[in-house]
């Protein structure tokens, strides 16, 4: 039996601002934006090519906005990823080249931290 991680909750203070950031700056796909009740809003966003999505919304978690642990995506070209983020207005770190991988870092408007990783030994991401 497979156990697949498919959804990670990311606590935010302003759902519309966060959705705009993830969709229009980072490039995630907006899969769902539903309000099943007055107290719940469920927004599911997926990075291109990913089998795992994030969800932001209202009434989904008691976690404080910005308190998500470091989240990480893997890409096949770190420089292209860096340049795309920067061109869309994301405050992204310079590319860090380490022995075990290449990284760039950014945070969403609430301070949830993200790492983008490229592994030279696995060039297809």
**Nearest alpha carbon to residue 109 among 30, 9, 17, 29:** 17
Arithmetic mean of pLDDT, 6-11: 96
pLDDT grade for 123, boundaries at 50, 70 and 90:
low
* Whether residue 73 sits in one domain with residue 56: no
Sheet of 113-118, strands arranged across: 71-74, 113-118, 101-107, 96-98
Q: What is the pLDDT of residue 120?
A: 83
pTM for the whole structure: 0.93
* Per-residue pLDDT reduced to its tens digit, 17-72: 999 999 999 999 999 999 999 999 999 999 999 999 999 999 999 999 999 989 99
Identify the CATH number of the domain in which residue 77 sits.
3.10.180.10
Domain span at residue 114 reads 69-125
Domain end call among 43, 60, 77 = 60
* Whether residue 46 sits in one domain with residue 75: no
Q: Which residues pair with 33 in a beta bridge?
A: 43
CA 8 to chain centre: 10
* Whether residue 35 sits in one domain with residue 18: yes
* Whether residue 87 sits in one domain with residue 113: yes
* Whether residue 54 sits in one domain with residue 94: no
Average per-residue pLDDT for the chain? 95
Q: Which SS3 state, helix, strand or coil, does residue 16 take?
A: helix
Arithmetic mean of pLDDT, 83-103: 96
Q: Which helix (H) or strand (E) holds 86?
A: helix 78-87
How many domains in the chain?
2
pLDDT at residue 125 greater than cutoff 90: no
DSSP letter at 119 equals: -
* Whether residue 125 sits in one domain with residue 79: yes
DSSP letter at 123 equals: T
Burial class of residue 45, CB neighbours in 10 A (0-12, 13-18, 19+): buried
Question: Distance between CA 20 and CA 103 in Å, rounded?
Answer: 24
């Amino acid at each position: 039996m497979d156990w697949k991680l498919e959804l990670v909750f990311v606590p935010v203070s302003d759902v519309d601002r966060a959705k705009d950031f993830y969709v229009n700056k980072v490039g995630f796909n907006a899969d769902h934006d539903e309000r099943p009740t007055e107290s719940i809003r469920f927004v599911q966003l997926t990075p291109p090519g990913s089998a795992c999505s994030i969800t932001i919304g209202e009434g989904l978690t008691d976690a404080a906005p910005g308190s998500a642990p470091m989240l990480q995506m893997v890409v096949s070209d770190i420089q292209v990823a860096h340049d795309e983020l920067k061109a869309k207005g994301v405050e992204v770190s310079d590319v860090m080249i380490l022995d075990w991988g290449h990284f760039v870092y950014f945070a969403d408007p609430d301070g949830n931290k993200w790492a983008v990783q490229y592994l030279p030994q696995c060039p297809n991401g």
